[in-house]
């Protein structure tokens, strides 16, 4: 009987140790960066992949191909990250669980066709690396020729992770 209790105790100890395993988040080497250099997930981590999310029209009266239909890059970033947040919530996840984002930006005509990286950063910092939500994800940002939604300046894919 004592051997059986010892094995049971070891099993509980190992289960607790595996639950305590955290996601390792390595800060960026760039000062004040809102993203990580890397994230390492412990074995058994549950992953949730969120497909590309586009903004909803901010001005329903605007023509669908007009930028004001969805706002500028900052406004669209905020709208998209709120939608990512909403997609994660039913799974018991939040933006603090996001470990990786892929961001696709269309060139802004008001910036001679260059992506509005500063607008992205302003919107992004409202959700990541803030007092309210201090955790940061890894992130890739690229400029693309266009997105499936006319007037959209941003599309975001996300990967969230939760250690079991």
Residues 162 and 46 sit within 8 Å (Cβ to Cβ)? yes
Write out pLDDT tens, residues 119-140. 999 999 999 999 999 999 999 9
What's the whole-number average pLDDT of the chain? 85
pTM value is: 0.81
Contact partners, residue 161, CB within 8 Å, separation at least 6: 23, 39, 41, 45, 46, 47, 48, 97, 99
Residues 55 and 80 sit within 8 Å (Cβ to Cβ)? yes
Residue 40 bridge partners (DSSP): 24
Rg (CA), the chain: 20
Q: What is the DSSP letter of 97?
A: G
pLDDT for position 16:
32
- What are the start-end ranges of the E strands in 20-162? 24-27, 36-40, 46-53, 98-106, 138-144, 154-162
Q: What is the rounded CA–CA span in Å between residue 41 and residue 38?
A: 10
Please state the φ and ψ torsions of residue 104, each to the nearest 5 degrees: -110, 120
Evaluated on CA atoms 137, 126, 111, 155, the torsion sign reads: positive
Residue 148: pLDDT above 50? yes
Write out pLDDT tens, residues 8-66. 444 433 333 333 358 999 999 998 899 999 999 999 999 999 999 999 876 677 776 66
pLDDT for position 30:
92
Alpha carbon of residue 79 to chain centroid: 13
């Amino acid at each position: 009987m004592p051997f059986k209790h010892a094995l049971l105790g070891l099993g509980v100890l190992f289960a607790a140790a595996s639950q305590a395993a955290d996601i390792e988040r390595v800060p960026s080497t760039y000062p004040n960066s809102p993203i990580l250099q890397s994230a390492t997930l412990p074995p058994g981590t549950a992953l949730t992949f969120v497909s590309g999310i586009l903004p909803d029209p901010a001005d329903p009266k605007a023509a669908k191909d007009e930028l004001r239909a969805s706002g500028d890059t900052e406004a669209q970033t905020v709208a998209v990250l709120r939608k990512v947040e909403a997609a994660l919530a039913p799974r018991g996840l939040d933006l603090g669980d996001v470990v990786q984002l892929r961001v696709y930006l269309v060139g802004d005509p008001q910036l001679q066709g260059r992506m509005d990286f500063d607008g992205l950063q302003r919107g992004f910092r409202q959700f990541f690396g803030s007092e309210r939500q201090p955790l940061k994800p890894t992130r890739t940002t690229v400029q693309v020729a266009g997105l499936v939604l006319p007037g959209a300046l941003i599309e975001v894919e996300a990967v969230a992770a939760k250690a079991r």
